[in-house]
Structure 1
Amino acid sequence: MIDGLGHESSGCYNARLSWRTVLMPTSFLEIVELPDGRIELRRAEDEGSLVTLNFSEDAKAFLQGQHVEVAKAMLSVGVQMAGRLAEGELSKEEEGPRVLH
């Protein structure tokens, strides 16, 4: 399958996400599953990856083949959070060590 940028891919999932920030004014983003199984978030008009997700075979099995749907949800929430941070709706956490759960 050829994605919207003319690249061969396993699947292109146009999430129609928009990032309306000072850094990325009105960029449309797409989620693409690459031939090697990695899932990438990138600007629709650009070849460069903004974020790449790689699920292990164990994770794919646990998710019963729904890893693309999980990736879409993860990336969508991430873009929403980034937009809210950029618009000042969320305060940045204090500097220092962070524990991610």
Structure 2
Amino acid sequence: MIIARILSVLAAIFLVSAFAVASIWPPDMQLKTLVAMADPNFVPAFQSFVTGNLPPWAWTDLAWPLLQRPAWLLPTAIGLILFGGAISLSGPKGSRTRPRRWRG
């Protein structure tokens, strides 16, 4: 299926990017630090967006702990989820023809 191939390509992109992040920067670098290197205003803007538009627990229980994890963890998790989806949608392996039955 074409969807399985798309998911497998996306999974490969995310897994390679996770390896690149872990190789280029220190493996224990937090995601918020990496994002702040690219855009120093992102974390405060993201916090105001989350606290303004989502329930209060979304920042304290979801977003903030995610930003404190190692930077390579998020693309790895997304890549593994996409890989699982690609495997699930790829269907059964083997011949596409009807199996022969033994006549006895």
TM-score by length of 1: 0.32
The structure richer in helix per residue is 2
Larger Rg: 2
Q: Which has the higher contact order (CA 8 A, sep 6+)?
A: 2
The structure richer in strand per residue is 1
